[in-house]
C-alpha cells in the first residue's frame, strides 16, 4: 500500500503596487478543500502542479496546467484537489479596471480558458509581480491579459486588429526619455497621452519592436554603464539610474550586458612588458 501524502498548506499573499491587482496569492495544498464561497474581485487562476476541480454556478469544472481559469465576482464556487498530491496554484484577484461586468455571463458559461498565449502572459505577470521595481512591466502585461481575456470571451466584439499609431508610440518614448530615473506608470502615461493602456503598449511595441518596460530598462542600463566606468559603486549607480536596488540593477545589467555591474567596471590588469 502506498504511503499517504502528508497534508501540506503553503501560502504566500501580498498586494502589489500595481493598479487593478487587489491581491496576489500563491499556494500549495495537498488535501485542503474550499467550501462554497464568493469573492468581490475577479479570480484569475493558473495551476502549476496537479489539478483543481471546482463547481461554479452548479456546474463542475477543472483546471489542468495548460488552462487559465477566470471566476467572476459574487458567483459562488468551491475548490478541491483533483490529483493525489494536491495542487500548486497562482492566483490574481483583480478589480474591474481590466475585467468589466459585461464579461461575467461569458465567464460563468466558460471559465476555463485553454489559450497558450494567455497562459504564458499570466505566468510572466506573476514573475514580474514577485520582483520589486518591475511595476511598469506588470502593468503592461496585465493590460494585455485583460485584452486577451475579452477577445476570448467576446470574440465577435473584440475582433478588430490593432492599428499602427507611430505618433502615439513616439509620444510615449518621449515621456519615458524624460523620466528615465523616476520612471512612469502605464496608468499615468495613458492619462497623459489620452489613450487606452493596451493600445498604448501595442502601439509602442509595434513601432519600436520592444515593450515600454524593456525600453526604459535599456535606457537605465546605458546610464549605469557610464556611471560605473566613472568609478561609482554599483549600489550608488542603482539609485542614480532608477533601479529599485542593486539586485534589480544586476538582474537587468547582466541580461543586457552579459556580466554583473561589478565585473563590468573592473579594471583590466596590466602585465609588465618583457624586454
Q: Which residue has the higher pLDDT, 123 or 268?
A: 123
pLDDT at 3: 40
Q: Which helix (H) or strand (E) holds 228?
A: helix 212-229
Which pLDDT tens digit goes with each residue over 74-93? 999 999 888 888 899 999 99
Query: Residue 271 — pLDDT band, cuts 50, 70, 90?
Result: low
Residue 6 has pLDDT above 60, yes or no: no
CB 41 within 8 A of CB 17: no
Tell me if residue 200 falls in helix, strand or coil. helix
Query: Residue 60 — pLDDT band, cuts 50, 70, 90?
Result: confident
End-to-end CA distance of the chain: 79
pLDDT at 269: 60
Q: Is 4 exposed, middle or buried (0-12, 13-18, 19+ CB in 10 A)?
A: exposed
* Pairing verdict, β 42-50 and 34-37: unpaired
Residue 44 has pLDDT above 70, yes or no: yes
CB 154 within 8 A of CB 269: no
Mean pLDDT across the stretch 192-201?
95
Euclidean distance between CA atoms 104 and 155, whole angstroms: 15
Euclidean distance between CA atoms 33 and 35, whole angstroms: 6
pLDDT at 4: 43
Which pLDDT tens digit goes with each residue over 22-40? 999 999 998 888 899 999 9
* Pairing verdict, β 21-29 and 68-71: unpaired
Residue 270 has pLDDT above 80, yes or no: no
Mean pLDDT across the stretch 2-18?
76
pLDDT at 84: 86
Q: Which residue has the higher pLDDT, 4 or 259?
A: 259
Residue 158 has pLDDT above 70, yes or no: no
Which pLDDT tens digit goes with each residue over 124-138? 999 999 999 999 999
CB 113 within 8 A of CB 70: yes
pLDDT at 266: 80
122 phi and psi, to 5 degrees? -65, -40
pLDDT at 213: 97
Residue 159 has pLDDT above 60, yes or no: no
pLDDT at 25: 97
How many other C-beta atoms lie within 10 A of the C-beta of residue 26?
17
Tell me if residue 204 falls in helix, strand or coil. helix
Q: Is 260 exposed, middle or buried (0-12, 13-18, 19+ CB in 10 A)?
A: middle
Residue 10, strand partner residues: 28
Mean pLDDT across the stretch 245-253?
97
Amino acid at each position: 500500500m502506498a504511503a499517504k501524502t502528508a497534508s501540506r498548506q503553503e501560502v504566500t499573499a501580498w498586494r502589489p503596487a500595481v493598479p487593478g491587482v487587489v491581491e496576489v496569492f500563491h499556494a500549495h495544498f495537498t488535501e485542503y478543500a474550499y467550501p462554497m464561497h464568493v469573492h468581490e474581485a475577479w479570480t484569475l487562476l493558473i495551476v502549476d502542479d496537479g489539478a483543481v476541480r471546482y463547481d461554479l454556478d452548479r456546474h463542475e469544472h477543472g483546471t489542468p496546467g495548460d488552462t487559465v481559469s477566470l471566476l467572476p465576482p459574487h458567483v459562488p464556487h468551491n475548490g478541491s484537489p483533483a490529483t493525489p498530491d494536491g495542487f500548486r496554484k497562482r492566483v490574481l484577484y483583480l478589480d474591474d479596471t481590466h475585467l468589466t461586468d459585461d464579461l461575467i455571463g461569458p465567464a460563468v458559461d466558460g471559465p476555463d480558458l485553454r489559450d497558450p498565449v494567455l497562459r504564458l502572459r499570466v505566468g510572466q505577470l506573476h514573475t514580474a509581480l514577485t520582483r520589486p521595481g518591475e511595476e511598469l512591466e506588470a502593468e503592461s502585461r496585465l493590460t494585455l491579459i485583460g485584452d486577451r481575456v475579452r477577445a476570448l470571451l467576446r470574440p465577435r466584439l473584440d475582433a478588430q486588429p490593432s492599428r499602427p499609431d507611430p505618433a502615439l508610440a513616439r509620444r510615449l518614448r518621449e515621456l519615458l526619455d524624460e523620466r528615465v530615473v523616476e520612471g512612469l506608470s502605464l496608468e499615468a502615461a495613458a492619462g497623459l497621452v489620452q489613450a487606452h493602456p493596451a493600445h498604448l503598449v501595442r502601439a509602442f511595441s509595434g513601432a519600436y519592436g520592444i515593450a515600454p518596460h524593456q525600453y526604459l530598462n535599456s535606457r537605465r542600463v546605458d546610464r549605469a554603464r557610464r556611471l560605473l566606468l566613472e568609478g561609482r559603486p554599483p549600489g550608488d549607480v542603482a539609485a542614480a539610474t532608477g533601479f529599485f536596488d542593486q539586485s534589480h540593477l544586476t538582474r537587468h545589467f547582466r541580461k543586457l550586458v552579459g556580466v554583473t555591474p561589478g565585473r563590468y567596471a573592473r579594471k583590466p590588469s596590466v602585465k609588465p612588458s618583457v624586454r
